[in-house]
C-alpha cells in the first residue's frame, strides 16, 4: 500500500475523471432493442423500395446496436451482395455461419458470392453442404453440377493465354465472366489478351474493373495509367497515376512516370490555352517541347504534332505548317488536320492542292471549320435563289447575303455533303457558290431543286451577280 502514498493524486485525478466519463458515454450510446428493431424495419422498407444505400445505413446501425444477432448480419450481407460488394458480403455471411452453422440460406448466399468471384472450389463445397441440409434445393443442385464445367473452362482460358491464343482466351473468358463477373483474375487475364491483340480500349475497361475489385492495387493503377498514356489520354493517365501515389508516394514505377506525365500534360494544356488566346508562337514552342520530351508513344507525339500543325497554320507560317501537318497525318488520319493542311496549301496559293485536300472523309464532314487561308481565296459574291418556283430562280426574291470568306472552298464542301444526301438547301448553297465564282451556267443548273424540297429554298444574295431571270 506504500506505493499509493507516493502517487501524485493531483496529476492523476483528471485522467480518472475522463476515463469514467468515457465509460459512461459508451453505455449511454448503446442502442436499445426498440431502436435496433426500428433500424431493422427501416432497412427492410428501404430494401423493398430498392434504396440499397439507405437500407445499408440502417443495417449498419442495427449491427452496431446488436452485434450478436446473426439475422442482422445476414440482412446486411444481402444488401452488400445486391450492391456488388463481394468482400463485405462474404465477411457478413461467414460471420453468420460462425454464429449459426446450420443457417442454410446464409451458406447458399455465400456459395453464390464464391461463384461470382470464380472461387469455384469454395462454391462447390458450400453448395454440397446446402444439398446435405436441403436435398430438394434446386438452385444448389443445379449450381453444384455446373461447377466442374466452369473449372474446366477456366483451365482452358489459362492454357490458351499461355499458348498465345489470345483471341480464343478472350472469348472464353467473356463467357466465364457472365457467370463470375466479380473475378479479378478473369478480368486481368482478358485485359492481357486485349493488350496482346492491341485492343487497348477494351483492356482499359477491364483494368478499371480489376482496380475496383482489388482495392489498393498500386500495380493496377500503374498499368491503367500506362495504357491511357499509350492511347494519348494524358490527363486521364495523370489522374490514375496519382491514385497509385496516394497508396505509395515513393512507388518505384509510379513516381518517375508521374513526373513525366505531369510535364507532358502541362505542355499540352498550354498548347490549348495559347491557341485559344491566339498566342500561336508560344503554342508552337510548347508543342516542340512535348516532342522533345516524348518521341516514342505514337499518339502522344500525334497530339503534339496536331497542335503544331494547327498553330503554325493560324500563324500563317504555311510552309512549316505543311511539314507539321504531313507528319501528323502520317501517324493518324484526322479530318481537322486535313482542313489545316488545306488551309496551309491555300495560303501558299496552291489552290488545286488545297481544293483536293478539302475533300474530307464522309465520316468527318461535320468537323469542317473556317480556315485562315479562306481569306486569301477569291471573294464570294451573292446568290440567286428560289422561294416558290421549283425550276427557276427569281432575282426579285433574293435578299440574304452569304459570307464572303469561303467562296473558293464552298463548292467542294457542298459536293462532299451532297454525296451523303441530296438536300435542297445544299443544292442552293452550291449554286450560290458557283454564281459567286461567275459560273452562271452551272449555278443556274444547280438551282433546279427537287419538287419534294421546294419549301426549303431560302433567299440568297447572289442574284445581284446573276443575269436577270
pLDDT at 318: 85
pLDDT number for residue 183: 94
The answer to whether residues 79 and 52 touch, using CB atoms and an 8 Å cutoff, is yes
- Out of 81-95, 180-194, 313-327, least confident range: 313-327
Residue with cell 464464391: 114
Res 54: pLDDT: 81
Quick one: what percent of the chain has pLDDT higher than 70? 67
The answer on pLDDT for 205 being more than 50 is: yes
- 278 vs 9 pLDDT, higher one: 278
**Average pLDDT of span 30-51:** 72
132 vs 323: CA distance, rounded Å:
76
323-341 mean pLDDT = 86
How many percent of the chain have pLDDT more than 90? 44
**pLDDT above 70 for 93:** yes
Cβ atoms of 225 and 241 closer than 8 Å: yes
Q: What is the pLDDT of residue 166?
A: 95
Short-list 229, 182, 236, 233, CA closest to 209: 182
Q: Name which of 234-248, 336-350, 366-380, 385-399 the model is least confident about.
A: 385-399
* 3-state DSSP assignment of residue 388: coil
Summarize the confidence of residues 447-454 as an average pLDDT: 41
pLDDT in tens, 55-70: 888 777 877 877 888 8
Of the spans 16-25, 43-52, 131-140, 337-346, which averages the highest pLDDT? 131-140
| pLDDT at res. 306 | 92
Q: Inform me whether the pLDDT recorded for 464 exceeds 50.
A: no
Residue 366 has pLDDT above 60, yes or no: no
Average pLDDT over residues 328-342: 85
Which is more confident, 48 or 407? 48
Does the pLDDT of residue 380 top 50, yes or no?
Answer: no
**Comparing 159-168, 240-249, 430-439, which segment has the lowest mean pLDDT?**
430-439
Short-list 267, 195, 208, 194, CA closest to 243: 208
Res 336: pLDDT: 83
Q: How far is CA 375 from the centre of its chain?
A: 38
State residue 190's pLDDT score.
96
Largest interatomic CA distance in the chain: 126
C-alpha cell at 142: 443445379
Q: Which of 22-36, 78-92, 225-239, 400-414 has the lowest mean pLDDT?
A: 400-414
Q: Does the structure show a pLDDT above 50 at 409?
A: no
Interval 219-236 mean pLDDT: 94
What value does the mean pLDDT of the chain take?
76
Q: Which long-range contacts (CB under 8 A, 24 or more apart) does 169-175 make?
A: 169/193, 170/194, 170/197
The pLDDT of residue 52 = 78
Residue environment code for 415-426, b if the CB has 16+ CB neighbours within 10 A, otherwise e? ebbeeeeebbeb
Task: Identify which of 189, 268, 197 has the alpha carbon closest to the alpha carbon of residue 236.
Answer: 268
Amino acid at each position: 500500500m506504500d506505493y499509493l502514498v507516493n502517487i501524485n493524486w493531483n496529476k492523476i485525478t483528471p485522467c480518472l475523471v475522463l476515463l469514467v466519463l468515457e465509460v459512461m458515454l459508451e453505455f449511454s450510446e448503446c442502442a436499445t432493442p426498440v431502436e435496433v428493431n426500428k433500424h431493422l424495419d427501416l432497412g427492410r422498407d428501404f430494401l423493398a423500395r430498392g434504396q440499397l444505400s439507405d437500407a445499408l445505413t440502417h443495417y449498419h446501425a442495427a449491427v452496431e446496436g446488436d452485434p450478436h444477432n446473426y439475422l442482422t448480419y445476414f440482412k446486411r450481407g444481402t444488401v452488400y451482395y445486391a450492391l456488388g460488394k463481394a468482400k463485405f458480403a462474404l465477411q457478413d455471411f461467414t460471420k453468420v455461419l460462425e454464429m449459426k452453422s446450420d443457417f442454410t440460406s446464409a451458406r447458399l448466399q455465400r456459395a453464390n458470392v464464391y461463384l461470382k468471384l470464380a472461387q469455384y472450389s469454395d462454391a462447390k463445397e458450400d453448395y454440397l453442404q446446402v444439398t446435405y441440409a436441403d436435398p430438394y434445393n434446386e438452385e444448389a443442385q443445379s449450381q453444384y453440377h455446373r461447377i466442374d464445367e466452369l473449372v474446366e473452362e477456366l483451365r482452358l482460358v489459362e492454357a490458351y493465354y499461355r499458348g498465345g491464343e489470345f483471341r480464343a482466351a478472350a472469348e472464353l473468358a467473356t463467357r466465364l465472366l457472365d457467370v463470375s463477373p466479380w473475378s479479378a483474375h478473369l478480368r486481368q487475364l482478358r485485359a492481357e489478351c486485349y493488350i496482346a491483340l492491341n485492343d487497348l480500349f477494351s483492356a482499359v475497361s477491364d483494368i478499371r474493373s480489376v482496380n475496383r475489385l482489388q482495392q489498393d492495387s498500386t500495380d493496377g493503377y500503374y498499368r491503367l495509367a500506362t495504357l491511357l498514356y499509350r492511347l494519348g489520354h494524358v490527363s486521364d493517365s495523370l489522374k490514375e497515376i496519382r491514385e497509385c501515389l496516394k497508396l505509395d508516394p515513393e512507388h518505384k514505377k509510379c513516381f518517375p512516370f508521374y513526373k513525366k506525365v505531369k510535364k507532358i500534360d502541362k505542355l499540352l494544356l498550354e498548347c490549348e490555352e495559347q491557341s485559344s488566346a491566339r498566342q500561336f508562337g508560344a503554342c508552337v514552342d510548347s508543342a516542340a517541347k512535348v516532342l522533345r520530351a516524348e518521341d516514342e508513344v505514337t499518339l502522344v507525339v500525334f497530339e503534339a504534332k496536331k497542335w503544331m500543325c494547327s498553330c503554325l497554320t493560324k500563324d500563317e507560317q504555311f510552309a512549316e505548317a505543311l511539314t507539321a501537318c504531313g507528319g501528323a497525318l502520317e501517324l493518324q488520319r484526322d479530318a481537322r488536320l486535313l482542313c489545316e493542311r488545306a488551309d496551309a496549301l491555300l495560303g501558299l496559293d496552291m489552290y488545286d492542292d488545297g481544293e483536293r485536300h478539302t475533300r474530307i472523309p464522309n465520316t468527318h464532314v461535320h468537323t469542317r471549320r473556317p480556315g485562315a487561308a479562306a481569306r486569301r481565296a477569291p471573294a464570294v459574291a451573292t446568290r440567286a435563289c428560289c422561294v416558290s418556283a421549283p425550276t427557276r430562280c427569281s432575282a426579285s426574291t433574293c435578299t440574304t447575303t452569304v459570307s464572303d470568306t469561303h467562296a473558293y472552298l464552298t463548292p467542294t464542301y457542298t459536293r462532299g455533303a451532297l454525296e451523303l444526301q441530296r438536300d435542297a438547301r445544299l443544292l442552293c448553297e452550291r449554286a450560290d457558290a458557283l454564281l459567286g465564282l461567275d459560273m452562271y451556267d452551272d449555278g443556274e443548273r444547280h438551282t433546279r431543286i427537287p419538287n419534294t424540297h421546294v419549301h426549303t429554298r431560302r433567299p440568297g444574295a447572289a442574284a445581284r451577280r446573276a443575269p436577270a431571270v
